[in-house]
Structure 1
Amino acid sequence: MTHRDWVAQAIRKIEADFNRSADTHLIPLSLPGFPGIDIYLKDESSHPTGSLKHRLARSLFLYALANGWLREGAPVIEASSGSTAVSEAYFARLLGLPFVAVIPASTSPEKIAAIEFQGGRCQLVERACDLDGASHRLARETGGHFMDQFTYAERATDWRANNNIAESIFKQMALEPHPVPEWIVCSPGTGGTAATLGRYVRYRCHDTRILCADPEVSVFFDGYREALAGRPWRDIASTGGSRVEGIGRPRVEPSFIPSCVDAMVKVPDALSLAAMRHVSATLGRRVGGSTGTNFVGVLAAAQRMRAAGRGGSIVTILCDSGERYAHSYYDRAWYPAHGIDTVQADAAIAAAVAGGTLPALDCVELAGGG
C-alpha cells in the first residue's frame, strides 16, 4: 500500500466513525434570578471520548492526514492536560498508530486511566511550561508527529460549516424563543473554540458576541488586554499551571486570536469550582471545572444584559464530565490542600444565581462591543 493509499483509507475510517456518531445535546438551564434570559449548555461530554476535545482531535487528525504528516506505524505525540489526549488516543487507535501523551504530572488519575484505556501511553512532565519542548523532542527521537493542538486548533477546524460546534449550536437553537444568542461563552485552552465561534458568527452575520472566561492561573486574559491596547502580547508567559484542568495556559498559544473574541473575564478558581458544583447539583450529575468557569462567564453576561434591559439567550459549553475529577474537585480534602475557599465561593454563586451581583471580575472588551 502506498502512503497516499494509506492516507485515503485513514480518512475514510475517521469519516465513517463520524457518520456513526450523533450530535451532542443542547440543555436548557434555569437561572431564576434573570427572568427573560434563557441559558443553554452545549453538552460536549456525550462524545465517544467524553469531552469537547473529541471535535478537535478529529479535526487535527484530518488536517494532519491531508497535509501528509501522519505515516503508517509512526507514533503520534501530543502535549495535553488530558482530554485532548484521551480523544487523540481514540483516533490513533482507530488508525492503528501508537500514541504518546505528554502531560503535567498533576493530571488527574482518572484522565491518565482514560488515555491508557484508549491505547495511549503517558509521559509526565513536572512543569506545564515544558510540555511543548518535551513533545518536540519526543517526536524527533521516535520519528513521530507532534500534533501540536495549541498551534493548529484554530486552523484545523472548518469554521464555515462541516458540523463544527458553532454550526451545531445555531441549528439546535433554531426553534428556541431567542434563536440567535446574545452571547456564547467559552473558556480558552488552545483558543481554537473561541476562534471557530467568533469566525462563524461573523461569517453568518449574526449579532452574537463571544465571551471568553479565563481561569485564575492563565495568561490568555493578559494577552487579550495587551492586544486590545496595541501592545506586544504574543510572548506573555508565566511558569504556573492552571488548576482548572483543560483550560488556561502559561503562554498565549498560537491558536488564540484576540480579534475573534468580543470580551474576556478573569475568573478566580474558587468561583469556577463553586459554579461547577452549582451546575452539577442543578443537572443531577457531575461536570468538570471548566464548565464552572464558563458558568461564571454566563452569570457575568446575564448581569450585563439585565443592566442594559435586554432579554435573550446565552449558550455555553459543558466541556466534560466531572467523573474524571473524583480525586480533585470532588474530593473535599483537595480544596484546603490547594488553599481554595469553598464556603464564601458557594455563597457568592448562590447569590448571583438568585439575581444578586457577582464578586467583581476583571473584564476587557473589544472597542464597540455591546
Structure 2
Amino acid sequence: MTEPEPATSGTFVSYDAPDRRRWLAEAVRAVEADANRSADTHLHQFPLDPAWSVDLYLKDESVHPTGSLKHRLARSLFLYALVNGWVTEGTTVIEASSGSTAVSEAYFARLLGLPFVAVMPRTTSPEKIALIEFHGGRCHFVDEPGRVYAEARRLADETGGHYMDQFTYAERATDWRGNNNIAVSIFEQMALERHPVPSWVVVGAGTGGTSATIGRYVRYRCHPTRVLVTDPESSAFFGAYAAQDPSYTVPGSSRIEGIGRPRVEPSFVPGVVDAMLSVPDAASVAAARWCTAVTGRSAGGSTGTALWGAVRMLAEMRARGEAGSVVTLLCDGGERYAHTYYDDAWVAAQGLDVAACTATLERFAATGEWVEPQL
C-alpha cells in the first residue's frame, strides 16, 4: 500500500463541489417552500361547560400535508440532515418508524427525488403502510419491534444511505427557541383566549422531541406553563421517569402507535418534563373515540392518550379551585386506525374495557368530576 505524501504548508484539501452546493441550496429551498405553502394548524377549543373556570384546547396537527404532527418533525430532520451534509443528491434515506414519521419522511424524500425506506414492525396499521407507499416509500418489516434500530442501520450501511434516526435527532433538529416550532404556534394562537398562558401542555412521548421542544421553550420564555407527558402501557418512558433510570426498558411493544417505546429514546429529555402519567390502553382508545364523537374531528390513539391526561388534569384543577387552560395535541386522524382502535372486534380481541373509560369521560363532561375507572 502506497503511503500518502505528507501535506505541505499552504495545501488545501476540500471534498466540497459546486454541483453539490447547488443541489443542497435547491433542496433546502424546496423543503422551506413546503412550509411556506402550508398555513398553520388550527387550535380548537374543546366543548366544555362555559361556566367552568378551566378551558381545554386541541392543536390539530392532522391537517398537515401528510396528516400528522410528524410532518413538522420530518421537515426538521431533513433540513438538519441536509445542512450537516448527511443527505446529498441520490442518497437513500432510511428511517425506523411505527408509521406516521415514515409517511412524512416519504413525502419529503419524494419532494427531493430521493429513495426512501421505512423499517417498521410488521404490526403497523395497513392504512399507514399504504400512505408510505403512496408517497413513494418502500416498507421493510421486522417481526420484533426492538429490531427496527439495528435493521435501519444495517440497511443504511448496506446501501450507502443515511439512517435519519428520529429517536436520536428529534430533540436537536427542531429549534426550541422559535423558528415557527409547535410551541411558538401554540402560544401565539392562545394570545386572545381568557387564559392565554396555558397552565399545562399535555403530550405523549414517541421520540421525546415534542416534549423537549415545548419544555425548553416555556423555560426559555419564562412561562409558568408545565409539561405533562402521558405514556401508554408497554412503554419505558414512565417507568424510567419514576425510577430516574434512563436505562429502564420493557419487553414487547405499545399498542398505541406513534408513542410508547420499549426503551428510553435519546431525544427524551426528562429534565424539561414536569409530570408524567401512565395511561391504560383502554383509556387511550376510549378517549380517541370520545374525541371523535364530541368534536367531530377523528382522532388517533396517541391523541387519546394525551387527551385522557389533559382531561384528568382539568378535573384536578377544578377540584383545587384553579382557573386556567390546558392544551393538548390532535396528533393524527382516526381514519388511519379503522382496522384497530375503531374496530369493535379488534378492541374486544385485545381485552380492552373501553366502556368503563368512556363512562369516566362522560361523567367528567357532565359534572366536572373525575372517577377513575376500575379496569
The 1-side partners of 2:313 and 2:349 are apart by 32
Identify the match of residue 110 of structure 1 among 109, 127, 133.
127
Q: Does 1:327 align with 2:372?
A: no
Q: Which residue matches 2:56?
A: 39
Q: Distance in 1 between matches of 2:130 and 2:191?
A: 39
List per-residue Cα deviations over 1:36-82 (Å, max 9, x = no partner).
10110000000000000000000000001111100211200000010
Match of 1:365 in 2: none
Q: TM-score, structure 2 length as denominator?
A: 0.93
Whole-angstrom CA distance in 2 between matches of 1:59 and 1:108: 25
1:357 aligns with 2:370: yes
The aligned counterpart of 2:46 is 29
Match of 1:214 among 231, 256, 259: 231
Q: Which residue pairs with 1:71 in the alignment?
A: 88
- Looking at structure 2, the residues matched to 107 and 147 of structure 1 have their Cα atoms a distance apart, in angstroms, of 19
Aligned pairs (5 A) from 1:67-106: 67-106=84-123
Pick closer, same or farther for the CA change 1:201–1:326 going to 2, 3 Å: same
Which of 293-302 and 78-87 deviates more? 293-302
Matched-pair contact (CA < 8 Å) for 2:356–2:373:
no
Q: Which residue of 2 aligns with 1:275?
A: 287
Letter of the 1:288 partner, please give it: G
The one of 2, 5, 9 aligned to 2:26: 9
Q: 1:144 to 1:174 in 2, by over 3 A?
A: same
For residue 120 of structure 1, the aligned residue among 97, 121, 137 is 137
Please list the CA deviations of residues 121-169 of structure 1 after superposition, one character each: whole Å capped at 9, or x if unmatched: 0001111111101101010001100000000000000000011000000
Structure 1 equivalent of residue 15 of structure 2: none
Query: Aligned partners of 1:360 and 1:266: how far apart in 2?
Result: 14
Q: Distance in 2 between matches of 1:314 and 1:128?
A: 33
Aligned-pair CA distance for 1:34? 7.9
Distance in 1, matches of 2:310 and 2:97, equals: 26
Q: Using the alignment, how far apart are the partners of 2:283 and 2:94 within structure 1? A: 34
Which structure 2 residues correspond to residues 271-310 of structure 1 after superposition, within 5 A?
271-310=283-322
Identity %: 63
Q: Distance in 1 between matches of 2:269 and 2:50?
A: 33
Using the alignment, how far apart are the partners of 1:36 and 1:302 within structure 2? 10
1:132 counterpart residue number: 149
Counterparts of 2:210 and 2:197, CA distance in 1:
18
Work out the CA distance in 2 between the residues paired with 1:324 and 1:34.
35
Aligned length: 356
Secondary structure in structure 1 of the residue aligned to 2:290 = helix
* Cα deviation code 1:285-318 (max 9, x no counterpart): 3210111111111122112212321111110000
Structure 2: state its 5+ residue gaps.
1-17
Q: Deviations over 1:240-282 (max 9, x none)?
A: 1110110000000000000110000000000111111110001
Report deviation, 1:15: 0.8
**Aligned equivalents of 2:274 and 2:373: distance in 1?**
19
Could you say which structure has the larger radius of gyration?
2
Residue 4 of structure 1, CA deviation? 2.1
| More divergent stretch after superposition (20-29 vs 293-302) | 293-302
Secondary structure, aligned partner of 1:174: coil
Following TM superposition, by how much is the alpha carbon of 1:347 offset from its aligned partner in structure 2, in angstroms? 1.5
Does structure 1 residue 171 correspond to structure 2 residue 188? Answer: yes
Q: Does 1:141 align with 2:158?
A: yes
In the TM superposition, structure 1's runs of 4+ consecutive aligned residues that sit over 3 Å from their partners are: none
Moved more, 2-11 or 100-109: 2-11
Normalised by the length of structure 1, the TM-score is 0.94
Distance in 2, matches of 1:21 and 1:350, equals 35
Change (3 A) 1:40 1:319: same
Residues 179 and 288 from structure 1, CA distance in 2 versus in 1: closer, same or farther, beyond 3 angstroms? Answer: same
Q: Contact between 1:33 and 1:352, CA under 8 Å: does it hold in 2?
A: no
CA contact under 8 A between 1:77 and 1:102: conserved in structure 2?
yes
1:261 to 250, 273, 276: 273
Structure 1 residue 33: deviation in Å?
A: 9.5
How is 1:183-194 mapped onto 2 (pairs within 5 angstroms)? 183-194=200-211
Alignment map for 1:222-261 (pairs within 5 Å): 222-227=239-244, 233-261=245-273
CA contact (8 A) 1:127 1:239 kept: no
Distance 2:255 2:308 in 1: 16
Residue aligning to 1:367 = none
Say whether the 8 Å CA contact 1:56–1:153 is kept in structure 2: yes
Q: In the alignment, which of 51, 56, 62 is matched to residue 79 of structure 2?
A: 62
Q: How far apart, CA to CA, are the structure 1 residues paired with 2:51 and 2:260?
A: 29
Gaps spanning 5+ residues in structure 1: where?
A: 228-232, 362-370
Structure 2 distance, partners of 1:304, 1:206, is 21
Mapped to 1, the partners of 2:262 and 2:298 lie a distance apart of 27
Which amino acid is the alignment partner of residue 369 of structure 2?
A: G
Aligned residue number for residue 3 of structure 2? none
Judge which range, 88-97 or 25-34, deviates more. Answer: 25-34
In the alignment, the residues of structure 2 paired with residue 278 and residue 217 of structure 1 have an alpha-carbon distance, to the nearest angstrom, of 23
- Cα contact 2:77–2:166 (8 A) shared by 1: yes
- Letter of the aligned partner of 1:109 in structure 2? P
